[in-house]
Structure 1
Amino acid sequence: MLLQIKDTSDLVKITDIQELIDPNVNIVHGKDQKGQEEQDNDSFSKENLVFPSGESLPRCWLDANYRE
Structure 2
Amino acid sequence: MFLQNKSSDTLIEIEDLEVLFNPLRNEIEGRIQSGEEEQDPQAFAKQDLTFASGENLPRCWLDPDYRKSAA
Give TM class, smaller chain.
over 0.9
Provide the secondary structure at the position in 1 that maps to 2:66: coil
Q: Which residue of 1 aligns with 2:7?
A: 7
Q: Which residue of 2 aligns with 1:19?
A: 19
Instruction: Give the drift of 1:44.
Output: 0.4
Instruction: Give the drift of 1:15.
Output: 1.7
Q: Determine the C-alpha separation between the residues in 2 that align with 1:16 and 1:3.
A: 12
Query: Aligned residue pairs: how many?
Result: 68
Larger fraction in helix = 2
Q: Which residue of 2 aligns with 1:51?
A: 51
Residue 37, structure 1, aligned to residue 37, structure 2: yes
Instruction: Give the drift of 1:56.
Output: 0.1
Q: Which residue of 1 aligns with 2:28?
A: 28
Aligned-pair identity (%)? 49
TM-score, normalised on structure 2?
Answer: 0.93
Q: Which residue of 2 aligns with 1:60?
A: 60
Q: Determine the C-alpha separation between the residues in 1 that align with 2:10 and 2:34.
A: 7
Query: Hey, which bits of structure 1, 4+ residues long, moved more than 4 A?
Result: none
Q: Give the aligned CA root-mean-square deviation in angstroms.
A: 0.5
Instruction: Give the drift of 1:35.
Output: 1.3
Instruction: Give the drift of 1:36.
Output: 1.1
Q: Determine the C-alpha separation between the residues in 2 that align with 1:52 and 1:24.
A: 23
Give unpaired runs (5+ residues) of structure 1. Answer: none
